[in-house]
């Protein structure tokens, strides 16, 4: 099956610094990638949808200047949390969709645990 990886799996950073999380589709070309955030004991909340070569579409309430998303190639999307604060501590999960990009063809990465101290 299709494999999506994320790097790093865990990261701890100091308040005010920026952190970059990578999401890669390893064996297929992902025309669309999605970023989700999950707080402890809660569900996944969609943050943004990114299509290769174009600007990401952010969900309401998600600051695009704080969560920078780049989808420069068909196998890589990055999420940069800028000027991170403790409240940004969360589990970030990406998913990738290939081909027609229908929502039922999404493959999820293993997630990145971000802790901001």
Interacting residues with other proteins (CB under 8 A): 6, 32, 34, 36, 41-46, 49, 60, 91, 93, 95, 97, 101-104, 106-111, 113
Least distance to other proteins from the beta carbon of 80, Å? 20
Q: Closer to other proteins by CB, 11 or 44: give it.
A: 44
Q: Closer to other proteins by CB, 28 or 34: give it.
A: 34
Least distance to other proteins from the beta carbon of 104, Å? 5
Residues 92, 114 contacting (CB under 8 angstroms): yes
CA atoms of 65 and 25, how far apart (whole Å) = 25
10-13 and 4-7 strand pairing: unpaired
Q: Closer to other proteins by CB, 61 or 86: give it.
A: 61
Q: Is residue 104 helix, strand or coil?
A: helix
Residue 59: DSSP 8-state: P
């Amino acid at each position: 099956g299709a494999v999506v990886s994320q790097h790093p799996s865990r990261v701890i950073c100091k308040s005010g610094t920026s952190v970059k999380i990578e999401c890669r589709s390893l064996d297929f070309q992902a025309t669309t990638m999605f970023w989700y955030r999950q707080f402890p004991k809660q569900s996944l909340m969609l943050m943004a949808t990114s299509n290769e070569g174009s600007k990401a579409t952010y969900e309401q309430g998600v600051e695009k200047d704080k969560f920078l998303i780049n989808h420069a190639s068909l196998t890589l999307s990055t999420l940069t949390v800028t000027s991170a604060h403790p409240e940004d501590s969360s589990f970030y999960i990406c998913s990738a969709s290939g081909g027609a990009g229908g929502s039922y063809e999404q493959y999820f990465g293993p997630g990145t645990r971000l802790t901001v101290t």
